[in-house]
Structure 1
């Protein structure tokens, strides 16, 4: 085929490709994602956002910071996520290769014997390579050459597929950031729970000492005939009940330590901590900023946005399946029946150049289904994106309200603890002077213990609320 003919053929293919889009492609309706958020949280216009603060600045406890640092290096879920990032990055490389020319080399040798009484055999028998020299029989065949194939990405089908892979890779990176945010929050919450349990254990031991002292007083009064055996037994039972609380708390401490060790990807070992540091001074002031900042700070929102972008590109790729694909193929090499003649030019030289066009014409149901599925997945991604934004805003709003309510509750419970602590000594004095019975003393001690537990629980909830709003604001991954 002469050069002029090849050019005309390729030109005709291009014209057909440009005219083919006139064929009807299904039009699917869709809508744009809504990423608008309220202007503020409860009317606040403060743009200072704690979500942009690094975790090693937000958390001041050195033991907690050491645990978080170890977890970020060793956590198994995080390492699994890192491998997913590598997988999606490799997918980008694969997609890039699809719209670049594929070039290869090949070499071969063979031998062929056809029947003499066939058209080919009869033709070979009458062919003379040289005067008096027939075509060799059997006929060897030697080949060496290069070949190339290339699909012209006229409709950007392959490039859009690559862009979709890039966005999914970036989405996995944001997914890793979201794992880090949740990991830091989970470690901090577990650490504060551990400190609260340590303080509960200390309170129980203090209460045991108080109850033991009350028991000795009752025993002395019984000896003086001022109390009964029933009172002694009641006080003994209360002491035993309080002592039994220690073991339940110790079990919770063990399980909480092991939960932290699991997050740090290590076998059980003691968690270094300072139980005396469990106080409100550990709380870092939190600034929620503006709701619109969630779109930038929250990794899960950024991940959903990237997934949405990838799904839009998938729709374009699926739409391009209706359009014709244009391919080019070429080869260049040497072919001869004798190794000595293999590189004889131009006699043994072979080359080819071809273009082809393929387009779906009849029974396009599979392509239509793929197009509709891509569109449905895009709509899913829109809803998921909007849902993620809504969930993020509600999480922040809930924790802001929680922090305010816990502050008020803590103040009241602190007063309750103070009043009941004073009532212990008052009830003891009244009991000694026979102005109160032993049940009043027991109930007062029990109420005081419960109120101290409730105060510790409220304090732990305050710390958890601070951690949770830091996570809700997208803090920790930067």
Structure 2
């Protein structure tokens, strides 16, 4: 009857333990929406420029050399690579958490038990060996292996390891997205540098034209055909244009040094061929279909892996409400005298203990952890949907930008050609006293601005092409 009552009590205790531990708060779950529009502006062509490797996309040897150097030396990228290594180490740590831990060691100690206790009285009445009583002060020496293992019944530890793997894969996609942005930033800065060189060349040629006009104006003043006012106005225009030259020279230095920073080197001249800028024609961008963004864009894949990691973290946090089974054991040798340690089997000692433990009262900590994990999972859903939406809008904006910039360049080029002809005409009319000097100044100013804007528009076209390539997920392969 005693054994049956004991087993009954144990059964009741386990029932209470399991029943109270398995009470899990209900939370609101959210599923991500992966739906995207069927096309960009009605096109169903699946040819996608974003799948092309950057070495095939960029043909300028100076630009490809800069990108190649940046991928090895850029400090931000190298910092990210170390973060990936940290994530990999976290996977290693999590994978070892659900395997048995075994440690090997030994120790020594001394113990004195009161003779007026049950253990002390038993030791006094017991002989270790015939004629050898148990010492009142008892040393203790031991050496052996200790093992512990949490049996992963609810896959709590395995899910935590899977979450770490997902975070590791997310960090790799984060690195890929950083590479995409780095390639695009270097290319944009490189074409900006070419544009500034060409604008500086226009400024210098315009200064020569204005100086020539100033010389003619001075001759006209000596001939009493114009006043001192005309000479001063031309001198002011020359000074204004020269100040623009110095401003452009400073911008060139800053752009060069920005490229040098991205490449991971101290300031130096950036090798380039600025003469080819006027021959650069933006290549056609094939956008494919929006659904390809889910596979091409590293930031979308990073958000997806982060979402997967948060889902697994919720499952792992939920398992904290269930009982956990822990096994502990020891196998070794132990003796009060080190000379007896090797006297086996008498010195052998072994133990095995199993604990089934679960939360019953005051589960605030694990409840808060579970709710926080669920909130992060919902947050990751919104972040994923936001990333997909942002990617689609970026592509749509750049495709529209490319189309409008093409039309803008055509009209701006027509304007430049007309103004260039009017400049020559106004200068001839001025020398023949058939036009006022202000007409020459205004016409020269207009053609300068138009030429500068034409170069700026071409640069914007090249930047839009690069940004569209980046928005489609190109640049990291």
Hey, what does 1:124 align to over in structure 2?
A: 123
Hey, what does 2:392 align to over in structure 1?
A: 393
Q: Are 1:364 and 2:355 matched, yes or no? A: no
Q: Secondary structure at the match of 1:321?
A: helix
Hey, what does 1:4 align to over in structure 2?
A: none
Shift of 1:193: 0.6
Q: Are 1:377 and 2:376 matched, yes or no? A: yes
Hey, what does 2:49 align to over in structure 1?
A: 50
- Cα distance change of structure 1 residues 17 and 211 upon mapping to structure 2, 3 Å threshold: farther
Q: Are 1:33 and 2:32 matched, yes or no? A: yes
CA distance in 2, matches of 1:394, 1:279: 30
CA distance in 2, matches of 1:475, 1:17: 58
Hey, what does 2:297 align to over in structure 1?
A: 298
In the TM superposition, 1:301-320 aligns within 5 A as 301-320=300-319
Hey, what does 2:442 align to over in structure 1?
A: 443
Shift of 1:28: 1.4
TM-score with structure 1 setting the length:
0.94
- Cα distance change of structure 1 residues 39 and 280 upon mapping to structure 2, 3 Å threshold: farther
Q: Are 1:475 and 2:474 matched, yes or no? A: yes
Please, which moves more after superposition, 17-26 or 232-241? 17-26
- Cα distance change of structure 1 residues 127 and 477 upon mapping to structure 2, 3 Å threshold: same
Q: Are 1:355 and 2:354 matched, yes or no? A: yes
Hey, what does 2:4 align to over in structure 1?
A: none
Q: Secondary structure at the match of 2:87?
A: helix
Hey, what does 1:331 align to over in structure 2?
A: 330
CA distance in 2, matches of 1:89, 1:309: 17
CA distance in 2, matches of 1:13, 1:57: 71
Could you say what the CA RMSD is over the residues aligned between the two structures, in angstroms?
Answer: 2.0
- Cα distance change of structure 1 residues 266 and 412 upon mapping to structure 2, 3 Å threshold: same
Hey, what does 1:211 align to over in structure 2?
A: 210
Hey, what does 1:182 align to over in structure 2?
A: 181
- Cα distance change of structure 1 residues 14 and 472 upon mapping to structure 2, 3 Å threshold: farther
Q: Secondary structure at the match of 1:225?
A: coil
TM-score with structure 2 setting the length:
0.95
Q: Secondary structure at the match of 2:280?
A: helix
In the TM superposition, 1:248-327 aligns within 5 A as 248-279=247-278, 281-327=280-326
Shift of 1:116: 4.9
CA distance in 1, matches of 2:71, 2:474: 14
Q: Secondary structure at the match of 1:107?
A: strand
Please, which moves more after superposition, 176-185 or 334-343? 334-343
CA distance in 1, matches of 2:158, 2:134: 51
Please, which moves more after superposition, 204-213 or 304-313? 204-213
The runs of 5 or more residues in structure 1 that have no matched partner are 1-7
Please, which moves more after superposition, 270-279 or 220-229? 220-229
Aligned residues: 470
Shift of 1:351: 1.0
Q: Are 1:429 and 2:432 matched, yes or no? A: no
**Residue 21 of structure 2 contacts residue 360 of structure 2 at CA under 8 Å; is this kept in 1?**
no
CA distance in 2, matches of 1:349, 1:451: 96
Shift of 1:14: 13
Deviations 1:292-329 (A, max 9, x none): 00000000000000000000001101111110101111
Shift of 1:15: 7.8
CA distance in 2, matches of 1:110, 1:466: 76
